[in-house]
């Protein structure tokens, strides 16, 4: 649901008021300048009709800016992705070519990258609250080489960030003496030293 830009055609659009966090506060047919702390954007009647009929709740959605600074979008504030795969044991990330999440390490920085297919299928934004199998963060465990019982560091990445864009984490260590383990929430992972 994208904003329509600047308009005063109240038969075809309504103004949505929201705060700095993007929380929707009200919808009106008139735009007022009473409160300078509130932001507003015009949306088509078709886009906001579910809010007016009660099918959508304000608290389940938020307004976010797009690449165009004059255009806003209404997105779900929470996304619950049903668990695709979840093993209870720790999983050692192998070095594979095709995967859902690829982790590369150059000795100073870990780079977590979702595949294009995962980004497309998940269709999430890093501003959303994404839940996978009841969890909001994906844990990764950096251990001594092939020793999951000796954890050096735990990295926890929000699913919203992990499933929408590349995430970088500083970690300096001997790049040939570690392994990366995780609890499987997705089907395939890869860990590659560069």
List the pLDDT tens digit at each of the 194 positions of the chain.
Answer: 666 655 555 668 888 888 888 888 888 888 777 777 788 888 888 888 888 888 888 888 888 888 887 788 888 887 766 655 445 578 888 898 889 999 998 888 999 999 999 999 888 888 888 888 788 899 999 999 888 889 999 999 999 999 999 999 998 887 678 899 998 888 899 999 88
Which pLDDT score, from 0 to 100, does residue 10 have?
Answer: 61
What is the pLDDT, as a whole number, of residue 87? 53
pLDDT score at 139: 93
pLDDT of residue 167: 93
Q: Which pLDDT belongs to residue 8?
A: 55
| Confidence (pLDDT) at 83 | 55
Tokens of 5: 């830009």
Q: Report phi then psi at 104, rounded to 5.
A: -115, 155
Q: Count Cβ atoms within 10 A of the Cβ of residue 7 and give its class: 0-12 exposed, 13-18 middle, 19 or more buried.
A: middle
Enumerate the β-bridge partners of residue 75. Answer: 62
What is the rounded distance in angstroms from the CA atom of residue 85 to the CA atom of residue 184?
6
pLDDT of residue 1: 62
């Amino acid at each position: 649901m994208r904003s329509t830009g600047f308009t005063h055609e109240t038969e075809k659009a309504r103004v949505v008021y929201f705060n700095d966090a993007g929380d929707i506060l009200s919808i009106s047919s008139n735009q007022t300048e009473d409160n300078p702390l509130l932001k507003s954007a015009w949306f088509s009647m078709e886009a906001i009709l579910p809010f007016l009929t009660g099918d959508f709740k304000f608290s389940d959605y938020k307004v976010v800016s797009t690449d165009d600074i004059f255009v806003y979008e209404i997105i779900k504030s929470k996304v619950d992705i049903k668990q695709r795969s979840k093993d209870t044991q720790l999983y050692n990330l192998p070095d594979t070519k095709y995967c859902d999440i690829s982790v590369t390490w150059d000795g100073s920085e870990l780079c977590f990258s979702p595949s294009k297919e995962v980004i497309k299928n998940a269709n999430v934004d890093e501003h959303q609250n994404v839940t996978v199998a009841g969890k909001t963060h994906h844990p990764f465990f950096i251990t001594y080489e092939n020793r999951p019982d000796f954890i050096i560091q735990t990295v926890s990445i929000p699913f919203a960030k992990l499933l929408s864009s590349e995430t970088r984490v500083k970690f300096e260590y001997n790049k040939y003496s570690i392994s990366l383990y995780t609890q499987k929430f997705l089907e395939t992972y890869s860990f590659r030293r560069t």
